[in-house]
């Protein structure tokens, strides 16, 4: 079976990814025929966004299984551990990566004496298909929080490109529009990697949504002017207490939203909820290359010799989060109780 969306195309023998480093100027693909190539693509941000990373990891695991399908017993187990670890070591913050790999590994261990390649391919396709349905459900639940005529502010890219399709935060916006609501969207450019300017603005303009691009440092002033009715962002990992790790700058937005009485919503699948981490302080925060800060694109903007700090994510404490929109419904505080409930874990 195959699967084809704007973000990824599984051909049965390869994973073809739209190269998100080059959008929106160039629409070009990267073809991955090995698990190593998928791992590199995740690391290099060819594919990014928590749910998209999870699905790509699952297909990468399938490619690894195909590469090692001639092995048996201990040799096979060892090789597949290597596949798992290589993919797991790409990016540390988005828990969907580890969630998808866990699902794949469980299937492998239960089937390694049988037709495991086929079983794993079915599981990866299931993860990808489920993601699309999940995002549509997030959209259905979330759109009820928006009114006709509202203006939403979003950060980074939590759209179709960050998922297998449809998006989480952008899924909510899309669902509201599909329900006949007229919305305007402010998009933070999202320095340093510019996912907002390059990816979110591109997606929304293509969808025909009135889209206003702002630099990140304009968000406070825009809120102060009363121009924003809701902030909606995605998430890379949500701790058991409701603390949310998301793209750097999200925390600043949450503080600003609180100051200006604007509701701050997080839209994410339950696969982004990590009940194993008690609070946000336990979430590993990826630090990326200094050149992302010293350069814009390939152009150096900062003096040679300057020091740089480049955390790719931040943590917004749960007190600042108005609600978390999942495929199972809208979760409100107290998150330590209600996240467990929605995950079906005894409280
Ligand atoms: O570094 P990125 O581009 O992978 O970061 C993406 C984000 O922070 C998104 O907001 C998050 O993954 C949710 S995507 C539905």
pLDDT tens, residue by residue, 214-263? 999 999 999 999 999 999 999 999 999 999 999 999 999 999 999 999 99
Say whether both 98 and 156 belong to one domain: no
Mutate to test the pocket of ligand 1, among 238, 246, 267 (most ligand atoms within 8 A of CB): 246
DSSP state of 237: E
- Average pLDDT score, the chain: 98
**Mean pLDDT, to the nearest integer, of 92-106?**
98
245 CA distance to ligand 1 centroid (A)? 10
Chain segment 301-329, per-residue pLDDT in tens: 999 999 999 999 999 999 999 999 999 99
Q: Which of 236, 243, 274, 314 is catalytic?
A: 236
Chain segment 272-305, per-residue pLDDT in tens: 999 999 999 999 999 999 999 999 989 999 999 9
Q: Is the CB of residue 196 below 6 angstroms from any atom belonging to ligand 1?
A: no
Say whether both 103 and 171 belong to one domain: no
20 CA distance to ligand 1 centroid (A)? 12
Say whether both 188 and 69 belong to one domain: no
Say whether both 86 and 155 belong to one domain: no
225 CA distance to ligand 1 centroid (A)? 28
Say whether both 19 and 160 belong to one domain: no
Say whether both 242 and 124 belong to one domain: no
Instruction: Tell which residue, 227, 237, 257, 230, has the closest CA to residue 319.
Output: 257
Chain segment 124-175, per-residue pLDDT in tens: 999 999 999 999 999 999 999 999 999 999 999 999 999 999 999 999 999 9
Say whether both 238 and 103 belong to one domain: no
Say whether both 72 and 158 belong to one domain: no
**Mean pLDDT, to the nearest integer, of 45-53?**
98
Is 140 part of a structural domain of the chain? no
Task: For the sheet with 29-32, list strands across it.
Answer: 3-4, 8-10, 15-18, 29-32
Q: Which of 135, 162, 190 is the last residue of a domain?
A: 135
Q: Which of 135, 155, 181 is the last residue of a domain?
A: 135
What are the backbone angles phi and psi of residue 82, rounded to the nearest 5°? -65, -40
Q: Which residues are CB-neighbours of 8 under 8 A, at least 6 positions away?
A: 15, 16, 17, 18, 47, 52, 55, 56, 59, 128, 164
Work out how many domains the chain is built from and give that number.
2
pTM for the complete prediction?
Answer: 0.97
291 CA distance to ligand 1 centroid (A)? 19
Mutate to test the pocket of ligand 1, among 156, 173, 203, 271 (most ligand atoms within 8 A of CB): 156
Residue 320, Cβ neighbours under 10 Å: how many?
19
SS3 content of the chain, % helix, strand, coil (to 5): 45, 20, 40
Q: Is the CB of residue 246 below 6 angstroms from any atom belonging to ligand 1?
A: yes
Say whether both 157 and 128 belong to one domain: no
Tell how strand 8-10 and strand 15-18 pair up. antiparallel
pLDDT of residue 8: 98
Is 130 part of a structural domain of the chain? yes
Is 347 part of a structural domain of the chain? no
Instruction: Tell which residue, 182, 186, 179, has the closest CA to residue 140.
Output: 179
Using pLDDT thresholds of 50, 70 and 90, give the confidence band for residue 347: confident
Cα dihedral 41→43→44→48 (10° resolution): 80
The residue whose CA is least distant from atom 10 of ligand 1 is 234
The residue whose CA is least distant from atom 5 of ligand 1 is 49
pLDDT of 32 above 90: yes
| 236 belongs to the catalytic site | yes
Say whether both 77 and 150 belong to one domain: no
Q: What is the CATH number of the domain that holds 259?
A: 3.40.50.10470
Q: Which residues pair with 247 in a beta bridge?
A: 313
Say whether both 158 and 248 belong to one domain: yes
Cα gap 203→186, rounded to integer Å: 13
Domain with 54, as residue range(s), is 3-135
pLDDT of residue 234: 98
Say whether both 7 and 107 belong to one domain: yes
């Amino acid at each position: 079976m195959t699967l084809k969306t704007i973000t990824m195309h599984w051909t049965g023998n390869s994973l073809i990814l739209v190269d998100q480093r080059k959008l929106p100027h160039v629409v070009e693909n990267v073809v991955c025929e090995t698990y190593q190539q998928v791992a590199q693509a995740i690391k290099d941000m060819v594919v990014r966004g928590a749910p998209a990373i999870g699905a790509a990891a699952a297909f990468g695991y399938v490619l690894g299984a195909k590469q090692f399908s001639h092995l048996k017993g201990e040799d096979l187990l060892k090789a597949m551990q290597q596949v798992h670890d290589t993919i797991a070591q790409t990016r540390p913050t988005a828990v969907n990566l580890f969630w998808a790999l866990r699902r794949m590994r469980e299937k492998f261990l239960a089937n390694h004496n049988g037709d495991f390649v086929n079983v794993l391919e079915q599981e990866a396709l299931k993860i990808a298909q489920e993601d699309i349905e999940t995002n549509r459900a997030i959209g259905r639940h979330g759109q009820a929080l928006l009114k006709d005529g509202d203006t939403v502010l979003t950060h980074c890219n939590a759209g179709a490109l960050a998922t297998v399709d449809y998006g989480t935060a952008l899924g909510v916006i899309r669902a509201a529009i599909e329900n006949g609501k007229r919305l305007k969207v402010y998009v933070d450019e999202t320095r340093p990697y510019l996912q907002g300017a390059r990816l979110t603005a591109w997606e929304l303009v293509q969808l025909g949504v009135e889209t206003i691009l702002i630099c990140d440092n304009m968000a406070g002033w825009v809120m102060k002017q009363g121009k924003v009715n809701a902030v909606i962002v995605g998430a890379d990992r949500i701790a058991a207490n409701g603390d949310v790790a998301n793209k750097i700058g999200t925390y600043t937005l949450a503080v600003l939203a609180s100051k200006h009485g604007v509701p701050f919503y997080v839209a994410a699948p339950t696969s982004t909820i990590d009940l194993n981490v008690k609070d946000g302080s336990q979430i590993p925060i990826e630090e990326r290359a200094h050149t992302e800060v010293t350069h814009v694109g390939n152009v150096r903007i900062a003096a040679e010799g300057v020091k740089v700090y480049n955390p790719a994510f931040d943590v917004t404490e749960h007190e600042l989060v108005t609600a978390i929109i999942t495929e199972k419904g809208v979760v409100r505080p107290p998150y330590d109780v209600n996240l467990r409930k929605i995950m079906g874990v005894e409280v």
